[in-house]
Amino acid sequence: MSIVMSVDEKRWQAENDARTLAEAKVIVKDSERLNAAKVEAKRMADEKQKEVSAMRSVAGSKPGARPSVNAARSDTDPVSSPQSLSQLIASKKVI
């Protein structure tokens, strides 16, 4: 599915991307900032991993395991059905 953007949105995105790339070059050239960013990235990744572990615990799954679909769920309920969104749209259960 493609998102259609207006000319103004595309220009804003390009300007924002240009500023982001310019800032990244400044950070890469400054070893102190780069190292601090790497330390922070590790901290953020560790925090996300804790969130993933907590969510897996709630879901009752193990790391690396794919969640199973509950067989008791109704195929007619678009919220709990194992069908994909495209299947639901094709069957006109979801608009």
Yes or no: say if 88 and 81 are a contact pair by the CB < 8 Å rule. yes
Q: What's the pLDDT at 61?
A: 76
Rounded CA gap, 79 and 82, in Å?
9
DSSP 29: H
Task: Note the pLDDT tens digit of each residue in 27-46.
Answer: 999 999 999 999 999 999 99
Taking all residues of the chain, what is their mean pLDDT, rounded to a whole number?
81
DSSP 38: H
Yes or no: say if 83 and 75 are a contact pair by the CB < 8 Å rule. yes
pLDDT over 80 at 55, yes or no: yes
Yes or no: say if 63 and 56 are a contact pair by the CB < 8 Å rule. yes
% of the chain exceeding 70 in pLDDT: 64
